[in-house]
Structure 1
Amino acid sequence: MKKLTPLILLVLCLACGNPTDKSNQEEVNFTFRVDTVMVDAGEEILFLQSALSHSSLSVDQKKLFNFSPKSELEVIDLESLKLLDKIATDKEGPLGTGWPYAIQVDQTGNMVFYGVEEVRVFSSDLSSMKRYQLTTEALSGLEPEMLSMFNPKITYGNLLYGIYETLEQVPQGIAIVSMEDGSVKKIPLDLAGRIAPYTYLLGSDRKVFEMINLELVDKSLILSTAYANEALILDLESDSVTVKTFHSELTSDKKKIPIRTSAETINEIDDLIKESKKDVTFGQFYFDKMHRRLVRFSRELDREIGDSLIFRNVLTVFDKELNQLAETEVSVDPFSKKFFKDGKLYSYINVEDELGFAVFTFDF
């Protein structure tokens, strides 16, 4: 194992509770350490150009699977921090992976490949595959809406959870798709009002907005956006929705609504989005199954020095009921690929084109 010197050691005593109910606030003794570890790929070159966006953790949390444009599945042993194998796959055919924009190892160990309007579910050894169409025509109960093409989706058992939207790309709520018979159950949520003020229009019809984040925790689905310090919690047994709002002492609680949201060229819209990135941006929630806690990272511009932008990166910790416990500044990229393994949070870093992780060890 390659292991570098610990980067951070902080001890915090913070009183961070639900801002709407001060009686729920509690003092938390919160300690964490961050170590940097490197993966030994031997003579091989790992695919890092997409920053592990096409990767997923195994059910036992011992392996990381990373999918490359060469249709190779890189198998990384997280116990020994070594590349174990590169498995060649086909793009088409009875065992074709297609052109996935994301992959997921589901709770049974199946390998799930998410493509445009489809999902391909492989057995754990990639010896068999089932392909499911996610077009409006192939599903019943979805019309007149459609599944959002690239917003995250999660499979659990024979169900798929995803965002559904109007034909004009306005998010409406959660669609629960039965992959067995193609039936869809729609649960409306107030997503349009949360997204619309921050939606950019390119030309006359193309809409651009940040992805809606999804995290499955037991029998609840947590939805969050990049724009507000809040979470929508969908109880999958009762279909009830709870909205939890939080307060940060280190960042703003809401992104400023942009003055201009329309552009005629890609360069123009890139400039508008780049400017909006100076405001607070909230990342997704990550669930620690071992300690039954969640964490989330956020970022906001701290100051400008000449042409350089200095950001404040913030880590926030919650209990399993999403009560806020603590927050602190950290020095890692808040939006890099992250996952929990054995109660430790792994955050992807690129060290001179080699795969590394900043590993958070928490102590409460």
Structure 2
Amino acid sequence: MKKILFPTLIAALAFSCGGENESTDSQPKNILENFSFTVDTLVVDPGEEIINLSRGVRGSSLNETKTHFYLFDDATTQINKINLDELILEEQIPFEKEGPNGVGANFISTSRYLPGEEFLFSSFQSSGIFNKQGEKVLDLTLKPEELDIEGLGENAQFNITNSMRITPDKKQVYSLPGDFMEGTTQLAKIDLESKSGKVLPIPAMEIVGDYRILLQSDQSMSIYIEEISFQELGGKFYISGATTNSIYRFEPGQDSLQLFEFDFSLVPNQKEIPIQRKVSSMEEFEAEMEKARTQIGFEKLLFDEQTKRFYRFGRIYEPKGDDPEAPSKAQVFLFAFDENLNFLGETEIPELENTPSNAFFKDGKLWSYVNVDDELGFAVMDFKF
């Protein structure tokens, strides 16, 4: 059967595949048992402008109704506002790099749409909320010496803005500060007015740090990181990690987190083979990275507003073999949950060679980024059950 390779899919195709769990009277039905899908590719018309895809769509976000896709170009510090219903570049919104309304001249780690067409920009030097006119309407720069955060580690305070999320009333922020080598094991809750707060432990994410690899030698320094996702979906916050199927959920303003753990049958529930985390040569670095990548890894949560279901992709990369430059290929799996994160089913999708890139649900279909001859495109998958 022909494989689909994201993000270079162009043709429209149709496939089906069955899950391995059989439903019985004593066993919950696997809703993905007869899963199938069709897929089409759509391309955005940029008009006379250029949409820079040199970094893919890493700095992208959506408005509340999924009608517009906002893609930040850090080379020009402008946001490309893309109309997803008409598939056109509707507007390019400029921002300053420096000065009182500057978004930052160095690496910007976060660029995110906020309700009312405001934007959150964050870097190691500064953070803030900006309106569409490019004016900073709220300074979110958090200096360690000005903060009183109960339980915050000394090393973590310098990474306090990592994965920053703000409550709807803009009075509190949450973030995932972490040690450079150990990763993230705490959730920080900060009151913006008093500059005080506390950290909440997220021990289920400690395993993510166990698969962080540091190469440090006289010639080079490199680091391999398994991702932690901090998402806001349907008015609630979710924390998940690539190395485990566990998920934390909590509501803005609350101090208590609810942990969800699952027992999958098609794949392990987390990575199981330990790796060497500090190495001194590129050969060791690539070997340990391969050991991590060829174990199960999980993507961020996806929520379909029409069916009120969550989905999550998983993947196990194939070994690189003798050609380290060969495109990565993986076994791809899909897991389904209801809106309360009750597990509904699982399946392998042999037609896919990679998980969909920067995916989101719109109008009941899964959209994901594809590059079509250096033009912005989306592969649109229609799930069937």
In 2, Cα distance between equivalents of 1:102 and 1:238: 23
Identity %: 27
Choose the corresponding residue for 2:198, options 182, 185, 190. Answer: 185
Choose the corresponding residue for 1:84, options 65, 73, 90. Answer: 90
Shift of 1:11: 6.7
How has the CA–CA distance of structure 1 residues 4 and 208 changed in structure 2, closer, same or farther, with 3 Å as cutoff? closer
Match of 1:53 in 2: 58
Match of 2:28 in 1: 25
How has the CA–CA distance of structure 1 residues 118 and 169 changed in structure 2, closer, same or farther, with 3 Å as cutoff? farther
More RCO (CA 8 Å, sep 6+): 2
In 2, Cα distance between equivalents of 1:131 and 1:237: 20
Q: Secondary structure at the match of 1:346?
A: strand
53-62 or 207-216, larger mean C-alpha shift: 207-216
Counterpart AA for 1:78: L
Match of 2:367 in 1: 346
Q: Deviations over 1:188-220 (max 9, x none)?
A: 221564234323234499975322112223454
In 1, Cα distance between equivalents of 2:284 and 2:125: 29
8 A Cα contact 1:346 1:359, kept in partner: yes
Choose the corresponding residue for 1:239, options 255, 263, 274. Answer: 255
Counterpart AA for 1:76: I
How has the CA–CA distance of structure 1 residues 4 and 170 changed in structure 2, closer, same or farther, with 3 Å as cutoff? closer
Match of 1:217 in 2: 233
Q: Does 1:255 align with 2:255?
A: no
Q: Deviations over 1:40-90 (max 9, x none)?
A: 123432111211001111223211111112112111111111112223321
Q: Deviations over 1:138-181 (max 9, x none)?
A: 32225642354674232232132211335864533211223343
Q: Secondary structure at the match of 1:133?
A: coil
Choose the corresponding residue for 1:175, options 162, 183, 188. Answer: 188
Q: Secondary structure at the match of 1:348?
A: strand
Structure 2: where are the runs of 5+ without partners? 1-8
283-292 or 350-359, larger mean C-alpha shift: 283-292
Match of 1:272 in 2: 288
Match of 1:322 in 2: 341
8 A Cα contact 1:160 1:178, kept in partner: yes
How has the CA–CA distance of structure 1 residues 5 and 127 changed in structure 2, closer, same or farther, with 3 Å as cutoff? same
8 A Cα contact 2:205 2:240, kept in partner: no
How has the CA–CA distance of structure 1 residues 345 and 180 changed in structure 2, closer, same or farther, with 3 Å as cutoff? farther
In 2, Cα distance between equivalents of 1:161 and 1:274: 33
How has the CA–CA distance of structure 1 residues 321 and 135 changed in structure 2, closer, same or farther, with 3 Å as cutoff? same
8 A Cα contact 1:338 1:347, kept in partner: yes
8 A Cα contact 2:10 2:372, kept in partner: no
Q: Secondary structure at the match of 2:76?
A: coil
Counterpart AA for 1:241: L
8 A Cα contact 1:38 1:354, kept in partner: yes
The RMSD of aligned alpha carbons is: 3.3
In 2, Cα distance between equivalents of 1:208 and 1:163: 18
8 A Cα contact 1:104 1:111, kept in partner: yes
Aligned length: 358
Q: Secondary structure at the match of 1:33?
A: strand
In 1, Cα distance between equivalents of 2:282 and 2:110: 24
8 A Cα contact 2:212 2:225, kept in partner: yes
107-116 or 61-70, larger mean C-alpha shift: 107-116
In 1, Cα distance between equivalents of 2:300 and 2:260: 14
Q: How does 1:149-160 map to 2 (within 5 A)?
A: 151-157=162-168, 158=170, 159-160=172-173
Shift of 1:350: 1.1
How has the CA–CA distance of structure 1 residues 33 and 14 changed in structure 2, closer, same or farther, with 3 Å as cutoff? farther
Q: Does 1:44 align with 2:49?
A: yes
Counterpart AA for 1:351: V
- With the length of structure 2 as denominator, give the TM-score of the two structures: 0.80
In 1, Cα distance between equivalents of 2:204 and 2:142: 21
